[in-house]
Amino acid sequence: MYQRDQVLRRRFLVGRDYYRVILGRQELLAEMVSPKISVHSTLVTTFGLTDNEYSGAFPNVVTLDDLFVS
């Protein structure tokens, strides 16, 4: 369940269609787990996330810089 970054070196852009896919997956998972458990999406990406009206689907974003701090 991941979406690859563009081949070019740029931030990931969440479009309307992918936003709907993510919301559907969150709803499906929320139905399968206890109501006491919260479901949050985390995006792991190479260069980060471009802010737009759909980027709120990912409250947590992890980049390579976060993983490999020198």
- pLDDT category at 8 given cuts 50, 70, 90 is low
Is 0.75 topped by the overall pTM? no
Given a contact cutoff of 8 angstroms between Cβ atoms, the answer to whether 60 and 41 are in contact is yes
- pLDDT category at 46 given cuts 50, 70, 90 is confident
* Token pair 């985390």: residue: 42
Mean pLDDT of the chain, nearest integer = 86
What local confidence, expressed as pLDDT, does residue 4 receive? 56
What local confidence, expressed as pLDDT, does residue 1 receive? 46
Given a contact cutoff of 8 angstroms between Cβ atoms, the answer to whether 41 and 57 are in contact is yes
**Rounded distance between C-alpha atoms, residue 54 and residue 37, angstroms:** 24
Residue 22 scores a pLDDT above 90 = yes
Q: Where are the alpha helices (DSSP H) in 1-70?
A: 16-32, 64-67
Residue 7 scores a pLDDT above 60 = no
